[in-house]
Structure 1
Amino acid sequence: MRCFEKSIIFDKHEIHMKVFLIGIVSFLSLFCSAQNDIYEWGEGLTSYKGRFDTAKYSYGQLDSIHRYLFNWPSDISGTCSIWKIEQMDSVSTEKIDAFYTDRMNLYDNISVPSTEFWDSLIIYRKKELSDIYIASREYLIGFVNPSSLLNLDYLDCRKYSIAMNGGEEELLAGWDDLIDEMKKKNGYPEQLEARYQKKLESPFKLKYARLELMKYGWWNCRNQYIYYHEDYYRIEEEFEKLFISVERFDEE
């Protein structure tokens, strides 16, 4: 009878221990899951779902990296695009000045994981933004004051600057030379020539000449002097290292 009583007592101890262990496991599971969160993003036709430790990084940090550091600040293009001759009479640097101030302020205050890679990437993006801003501002001012382009130190771009600062004959000759250059690199030179001839017959031919010399001549030449930080695959690799696990979904 006593042996039976001891067995019952022992079984009760086992039950209490099992309940205790189950409680501990459940608590740890809930605690760990409370420390994890999901961040989703997409690149092209591929979407990603990453699980990260909130004790190490915040959702906001990951979102800031993906939105502002993954690529060059292409949204600056919307502040300085001149595609039509109608836009040439209302060119202003107001939008690009505001964009530059806001984005540089964002880079100065952005919160990222404290590592050499992410700290360096911010420096590269700031250099890139400054270069794009300076060049884009020169471009916009060039529409209003073409003589300002003559003071810049880009010798291989001067032929476009000189043409835009000459008389009607020099302007049209420079435009004609530009079209010849473009036809050599164009897969449909006949169509390019046809569009050129149509604009040449327009009463606004001088505006077309100035627009295309600025856009396809001077800007394309000036663009080669802009610093673009091209390290996409390394950035993608370092970003994925911030996650516990990443699921990838490819659209077919």
Structure 2
Amino acid sequence: MSKLFFQFLVGLLLTFSWQVNAQEKSFLFEDELCRYEAFYDSTKYSEKQLNDTFKLAQGYFNIYTEDEQQLDDTYKLSKKEILGFQIVKNPYFNTLRDSIVQFLDWTYRIKKIEFAARKGKTKDLLKYFQKNSTVKLYSEALHKGGDDLMKAYEHLTKEQMKNNAAPEVLWNEYVKNSKSGQAQQLAFEQVLSYGWWNAVNHELPHINMDGSQMEEFQKLFSRVETIDCDEI
């Protein structure tokens, strides 16, 4: 009887060990420097979920472009991809996805206003972030044009000169452009691209990709082993 019971226990332990091993699977991923093999409980996540969550944690979603059609296409594709991700059921990554979508939405909206302004539709510049005095200054100048625009261009140039290794080059360019027969067009482009856009960009809900996203991703695994790393 005791022998049969012992055999039963051994069989039970072997079965349990097999089940545990069967549940544990490995997942390969890499960052800028290293490749890793991570181990996880397959009853908690699927490989598809981990793949999609890894893409989300990397945060490589950029819709900045100087081509409006490309902006439209990239925005639609990026948002569709992110919303279609089968991420792990985790509050942190749900919030991260919401934050990335919010950033894409705002960036797209503001970039469309920038493109519209270049076509002469400057009124919408006055609708956003007017509590920011710098945004307000540049958006009003772009909308009014004339002397207001030239004064804003001068202000922008002087601000840029403060952090430039060759400030005289910037000033000479400003003087040259101001005397040009296309002074208004040149000033408009400078103020829109380097004044208004830079100021507005600081107001957008950027996500600080500081490495914490990958730290949270690695917490999904029972252990993570480094396979190899590039030499620095």
- TM interval, shorter chain, is 0.7 to 0.9
Match of 1:249 in 2: 229
TM-score by length of 1: 0.70
After superposition, the Cα gap between the structure-2 partners of 1:202 and 1:41, relative to the gap in structure 1 and judged at 3 Å, is farther
- Report the alpha carbon displacement of residue 135 of structure 1 after superposing the two structures with TM: 1.9
Alpha carbons of 1:63 and 1:187: their partners in 2 closer, same or farther (altered >3 Å)?
A: farther
Q: What residue is the counterpart of 1:65 in the other structure?
A: 53
1:128 alignment counterpart: 103
**CA distance, structure 1, for counterparts of residue 159 and residue 179 of structure 2:** 20
Contact 1:72 1:128 in 2 (8 A): no
| Stretches of structure 2 lacking an aligned partner (at least 5 in a row) | 1-6
1:42 match:
31
SS at the partner of 2:144?
A: coil
Residues 57 and 214 in structure 2, CA contact (< 8 A), matched pair in contact too: no
Paired with 1:167 and 1:234, the residues of 2 have a C-alpha distance of: 45
Distance 1:68 1:201 in 2: 49
What is the number of residues matched between the two proteins? 215
What is the CA RMSD across the aligned residues, in angstroms? 3.2
Higher radius of gyration, 1 or 2: 1
On the 8 A contact 1:35/1:54 being kept in 2, the answer is: yes
Deviation, structure 1 residue 148: 2.5
Assess, with a 3 A threshold, how the Cα gap between structure 1 residues 161 and 245 changes in structure 2: closer, same or farther.
closer
Q: Deviations over 1:77-114 (max 9, x none)?
A: 13xx3xxxxxxxxx64x433333333222232211111
Q: Is 1:169 the counterpart of 2:176 in the alignment?
A: no
What whole-Å deviation, never above 9, does each CA across 1:44-95 have from its counterpart, x for those lacking one?
Answer: xx2231223372434433332333343262x2113xx3xxxxxxxxx64x43
- DSSP-derived class of the 1:53 partner: strand
Identity %: 21
SS at match of 1:187: coil
SS of structure 2 residue aligned to 1:39 = strand
- 1:178-235, CA deviations, whole angstroms, 9 ceiling, x for partnerless residues? 1011112333322322343444455544322111101111111112221122263321
Matches for 1:1-252 after TM superposition, within 5 Å: 28=18, 32=21, 36-43=25-32, 46-53=33-40, 55=42, 56-71=44-59, 73=61, 75-78=62-65, 81=66, 92=68, 94-144=69-119, 145-155=121-131, 156=133, 157-200=135-178, 202-230=180-208, 232-243=210-221, 244-247=223-226, 249-252=229-232
Q: What are the ranges of 5 or more consecutive residues in structure 1 without an aligned counterpart?
A: 1-16, 82-90
Partners in 2 of 1:116 and 1:131 — Cα distance?
Answer: 23
Residues of 1 paired with 2:30 and 2:77: CA distance? 24
Cα distance between partner residues in 1 of 2:26 and 2:180: 60
Task: Answer 1 or 2: which has greater helix percent.
Answer: 1
Q: Say if 2:113 and 2:125, in contact at 8 Å, map to a contact too.
A: yes
Give the TM-score of the pair, scaled to structure 2.
0.76
User: Per-residue deviation at 1:149?
Assistant: 1.5
